[in-house]
Amino acid sequence: MADVTSSATAKVTLPRDDQILITREFDAPRDLVYKAYTTPELVKRWWHANRGEVTIVEIDLRVGGKWRHVMVADDGSEVGFHGEYREIVPNERIVSTEAYEGAPASDYPEQSTLNTATFTEANGRTTLTILVEAPSKEVRDAIIESGMEEGLQDALALLEQVAASLR
Amino acid sequence: MARVARAATTADAFNAVAEPRRREILDALSGGERAVNELVRDLGLAQPQVSKHLRVLREVGAVEARDEGRQRFYRLNGRALKPIHDWVRPYERAWSERFDRLDTVLEDLKEKEEGDGGRD
């Protein structure tokens, strides 16, 4: 396998009270980034963020088509997200809704975010931006804070490793 | 769970940056120190409004001021904004790890295409 030299980190900013903007550059042309982003067997390989195993990736990539990602986290808990595609410009732009299946009343569309993924290429490198627009500041903040819980899980996993090494 | 306990006062960094105009001021200052009249011009706001926002930002320590001659210059104070950074960081880290995995997938795709002769 080739060396992965990229040490870029995702940049997260909060442009507005109800928005999250995630930006990351990749050392690959955008048709490949788009492919990795929209092909189920490839999504399974990266979407887990080292926090578990992606068990289900359904992608019906057309306007009105549905998507669903399910992951079993290392602690055994199952987390699912799903949504619908609203706009698709191949290799350039995907607008979709996203709802967290564990969120209270997640069946209500007002709990969904509207996500716009934009792929731009320059000199063979691709910048991916994901703009997450939440229905309210409260929903936006809950999404950010879900990261707190993941961070805690990371810490616990690390603790477990350390504890095991002491045996 | 691990929630950030936020003070219910208006005088914290979270509330200070909750106002869109104040975030514009912070953005403008992220490029370096600016005089008040420069901020007035860049933001297209009236001076009293800009001064009011700067006062709030100064109260929470998000900006610092210094006088030079008849002008007052403002600059960012990153330390005061650290609570916000700390709040976002775990979320940012989750996406970073996700995208690190995506890097690996992309390397494989590039190799495969080279192998197929589909791309040079």
Q: Which residues of B touch A14 (CB under 8 A)?
A: 84, 88
Query: pTM of the full predicted structure?
Result: 0.73
Is the predicted pLDDT of residue A1 greater than 50, yes or no?
no
Band (B101; pLDDT cuts 50, 70, 90): very high
Mind spelling out the 3-state secondary structure of chain B? CCCCCCCCCCCCHHHHCCCHHHHHHHHHHCCCCEEHHHHHHHHCCCHHHHHHHHHHHHHCCCEEEEEECCEEEEEECHHHHHHHHHHHHHHHHHHHHHHHHHHHHHHHHHHHHHHHCCCC
Rounded to the nearest 5°, which phi and psi values hold at A113? -100, 160
What is the C-alpha separation between A12 and B92, in angstroms, rounded? 6
Q: Do B91 and A46 touch (CB under 8 A)?
A: no
CA distances to A3, A33, A72, B13, B68 from A28, in Å: 13, 7, 29, 38, 49
The per-residue pLDDT for B1 is 37
| ipTM of predicted complex | 0.77
Q: Do B109 and A32 touch (CB under 8 A)?
A: yes
Question: Residue A118, SS3?
Answer: strand
Is B67 within 8 Å of chain A by CB? no
Band (B6; pLDDT cuts 50, 70, 90): very low
Is the predicted pLDDT of residue A151 greater than 90, yes or no?
no
